Amino acid sequence: MKNFSMTKKLTLAVAASVTLLSAATSAQAQEETRKGPLVDAPAIRNRLELRQKRFEIGAGLGATIGQDYYHATLLNLKLGYHFTDWLALTAFVGQNVTPDLETGTTEKLLKSLPDVANPNLDRSPSKQQAKDGMNHIGTVLGVQAEIAPITGKFSMFGKLFYNYDFYLLGGFGFVGLEKNSDAKECGATPGPTCVYTGFKPAVQFGAGMHAFINELVAVNIELRDVMLRNNPSGRDVNADRIVNDSDLTLDQNFIVTVNAQFFLPRTAKRSE
């Protein structure tokens, strides 16, 4: 009788275990069914990867905004590689093709100055002395990282659809400063006026966008602020009666560029 009681208890324990295991398995199956087959799938399937693991190369025009004495119209080239859909490293070069394009400030300043300076009266330079000290942007070189947090698609007239991205950029480079006269450069023997020239280090930041016409070609627009230490007037800024490195100040140069960029490989991949 005792053995029968133990056997009955063992049988009940096994039956309870089987029931609990069956219930757990059934609950798990119901949970998986409730989540559906797309639970671990990507948010967007079959997405056209227009940037990821692709090179871009292109050319276009640029222009400075708000320069002191000379505007710069830049013929520029840009080359880059997109490591992911949101991260890229690019390099660019811009060459000024209008070095004599004066700003309105230059015209007004020269009109207000005398033809011949009189140091006994004031410290104002003559027209030629002021012009001799001015520099302008000749060449811009740079390397920048680009982070694209916003991508999408827009339509025109409800029929044409284009992909786009907006990105932030930051990096470093060099600005080649040039002169328009035979005035001496600032050097070991500084005087009251000397033009500041040569390749100078710079940092830059800004923003840009791509508007993709198709998988191969995109219109690229950028606005960057290129900052360097400069003395655009070549004059005595700190009033110590000589012009040297102590007269340099942080100079901001806003540049907008518009390029046609080609992406390679020619055909973009699609996500899984």
> What percentage of residues in the chain have a pLDDT greater than 70?
78
pLDDT at 173: 96
Residue 101 pLDDT > 50: yes
Residue 216 pLDDT > 70: yes
CA 103 to chain centre: 26
Cis peptide before 125 (omega within 30 of 0): no
Q: What is the pTM of this model?
A: 0.79
- 8 A C-beta contact, residue 197 and residue 230: no
Query: pLDDT of 39-94, one tens digit each?
Result: 554 545 556 788 999 999 999 999 999 999 999 999 999 999 999 999 999 999 99
Calculate the average pLDDT of the chain.
84
> What percentage of residues in the chain have a pLDDT greater than 90?
55
- Which residues of the chain form beta strands (DSSP E)? 48-49, 54-65, 73-82, 87-96, 135-156, 160-179, 198-212, 217-230, 249-264, 269-270
- 8 A C-beta contact, residue 39 and residue 28: no
Distance CA 268, CA 216 (A): 8
Residue 115 pLDDT > 80: yes
pLDDT at 242: 82
For the record, the structure tokens of 58 come out as 């292109």
Please, which pLDDT band fits residue 181 given cuts at 50, 70 and 90?
confident
* Mean pLDDT value of segment 209-214: 95
- 8 A C-beta contact, residue 172 and residue 202: yes
Please, which pLDDT band fits residue 271 given cuts at 50, 70 and 90?
low
**CATH of region 54-270:** 2.40.160.20
Residue 209: C-alpha distances to residues 146, 152, 221 (Å): 10, 11, 5
